[in-house]
Amino acid sequence: MKKLRFKGSPLKTELGNFAAPENGVPFIYLLTDTDSKEPFYIGEYGKASTYNVITRIQRHFARSGTLARVALNMPRFGHQLPSEFDAYIKELSDEFKDHKKRADLEAWVIHLVCHQKKIQSSKFCVTKYVSPENNYSQEAQKIVDEFGKYS
């Protein structure tokens, strides 16, 4: 798992010693306010062949898709849209190149963060929750544990 800080308009991040991930490589990511351990969004990435997970977060936070709904919903629920936030990104195995499997894993991570551990931010206002067909509870638990231990 890697932690990246996004800030500015348009959003930018410095990769430091982290090489930019390849396009289409599967990831799951948790977005938090800076230095927080309470996600305000949990997402998955892996189907685009023209951009990577970092570009997805940069491009889509306020423009389209689910992250655009975060940008719309936060103010409507009385929260300010962060001008700076952290992204904890976890590269997944090739098994998760399949969109359905990634969505199932994402649902398990959301379930653990929001319903079992209750560590989500009060800003958490968008979910893509699906009823998973595959039991990825152990994989999700490893991701949540790794996120919790990340300093």
Share of the chain above pLDDT 70, in %: 93
Mean pLDDT, all residues of the chain:
88
Please, what is the Cα angle at 24 between 22 and 27, to 5 degrees? 85
Between 90 and 58, residue with greater pLDDT: 90
Average the pLDDT over 97-119 and give the result: 94
What does R_g of the chain's alpha carbons equal in angstroms? 14
What does the alpha-carbon distance between residue 117 and residue 57 come to, in Å, rounded to a whole number?
25
